[in-house]
Chains A and B, each alone.
With several copies, the nearest count.
Chain A
């Protein structure tokens, strides 16, 4: 596949909602180990609200879709991931304004702007053991690809590996940072939800 348009985007969000729902308990367990055990419930609640929203008011274009996803996540997720993912999708909406199709590089640029919003808001550096640690390499992998299907597949693979690789990190942001040394040895829940989002993206673009 060579272009990412509204139908892929809708497929992405729906696949992501299903995957988050199926993996909610696992995400919450990851969060229970080094946080407060709600990441799966937060994300599942948010993605369920998103599904309901776009089913009841189908968005006309990419920008409208992403804005709707962002606003819905903002008002339904809460916690740290609510504003971070909410802001991420709102930024995706802004960046795709007027666009109907994105190629691999274009999608990577839009996602990169979303990542920028997360980093501005959360001030996490690479290695701080957050979702940022999965987002950076995944988006880099997509940016380096020329084909959308291959690029998103590679990005999904990279995100998964990066999420796993957060285990040995010492958390310096979010709740896990309160644990200090005891955060070491557990994967970051947010990096894992990122991995699920990229797997859904690859699926939608396959």
Chain B
């Protein structure tokens, strides 16, 4: 296992210590239990946005804590949902009196743990709402299953709701806006290589030199299909077509297009994928109004990419353009 770590059991704590040292001007990190919170208290009357999930997806979520985005984030162990006590403490620390909005990726563990934390916060008289992301079209949806995974849309969700919260939107409004965003975005990902969970010490699946996995999530799990490696343009099409036809996005609509790297793929390749993804969007009659290209929701050192399309109107574009000041996403301030 080739990683810049010390011991598997220390990965999360030491990375948080590094974050604390690098961003002491803006973040406060609690180590027992683990959570990341803005250094400045949440403004009175502003809804606190709390997210979290397993570690290994950096910069998500801790790197998105800051003005215009999250108020707090709870990192779990690598690929493991954090626990209710973390979410409870983070919610209490971040609460500014206007309640807590939880942004939860749709995984059984995350949903159950956040639910318990919400109950604990409500027991203390704090209003709590939750917004789910379940944008991964690679997973077949059904009433009888765990449903779809939350992936790339989570980044856009956190940015947009963060901007709305900063503008003073109340808890009910944020919940409704979050549900609208949830219903308007879709994603799909692929991997050229697997990743290695530190405490496992070996790749979570094996891929031959000429194979890739299509329809992967962000936890090193195998995808839906294993196919021969293909050119970037073909990969972009394999991801974009299911994404666009799922919602479906309709000609004339405007989208935010997000091409994400899985952690081990360099930016030069992401731009090559973006090039084709934007071309495919245009071919479908869509206007790409905003774009994001980079590794924002990762799966350790996995090589691969995911695309996310979010249908947007002027309200969402305004929220997208609003100032944000976090370690990983920053503009306008």
Where the two chains meet, the residues of A that have a C-beta atom closer than 8 Å to any C-beta of B are 28-29, 32, 34-38, 41-42, 45, 74-84, 121-122, 125, 172-175, 177-180, 182
Contact = CB atoms under 8 A, between A and B. Distances in A.
B283 interface: no
A80 B77 contact: no
Contacts, number: 117
Contacts of A41: 77, 80, 199-200
Contacts of B328: none
21 contacts: A32-B205, A35-B221, A36-B197, A36-B219, A36-B220, A36-B221, A37-B220, A38-B79, A38-B80, A38-B197, A74-B84, A78-B76, A79-B54, A79-B81, A80-B108, A80-B112, A84-B112, A172-B142, A175-B219, A178-B217, A178-B224
A177 B221 CA distance: 11
A173 B108 CA distance: 8
B84 A83 contact: yes
A175 B54 CA distance: 13
B150 to A, nearest CB: 12
Contacts of A82: 81, 83, 109, 112-113
A18 B83 CA distance: 23
B139 A172 contact: no
Contact of B83 (A32, A34, A78): A78
B85 A80 contact: no
B234 interface: no
Interface in B82-113: 82-85, 107-109, 112-113
Interface residues of B, number: 39
B144 interface: yes
Interface in B213-250: 217, 219-222, 224
Contact of B199 (A28, A78, A174, A178): A28
Contact of A75 (B84, B197, B221): B84
Contacts of A175: 107-108, 146, 217, 219, 221
B81 to A, nearest CB: 5
Given A38-B77, A74-B84, A80-B112, 5 more contacts: A32-B205, A36-B79, A82-B112, A82-B113, A178-B149
Nearest to B197: A37
Nearest to B225: A182
A83 B118 CA distance: 13
Q: Provide the main secondary structure of the chain A interface.
A: helix
Interface of B: 33, 54, 76-85, 107-109, 112-113, 115-116, 136, 138-140, 142, 144-146, 149, 197, 199-200, 204-205, 217, 219-222, 224
Contacts of B113: 78, 82-83
Nearest to B201: A25
A123 to B, nearest CB: 9
A79 B140 contact: no
A121 B112 contact: yes
A42 B77 contact: yes
Contacts of B144: 125, 172
Nearest 7 pairs of A and B residues by beta carbon: A36-B219, A83-B112, A80-B109, A79-B109, A80-B108, A75-B85, A78-B80
B145 A172 contact: yes
A178 B108 contact: no
Contacts of B76: 78-79
A102 to B, nearest CB: 27
Contacts of B78: 38
A43 B268 CA distance: 24
A53 B91 CA distance: 25
Contacts of B197: 32, 36-38
A45 B80 CA distance: 12
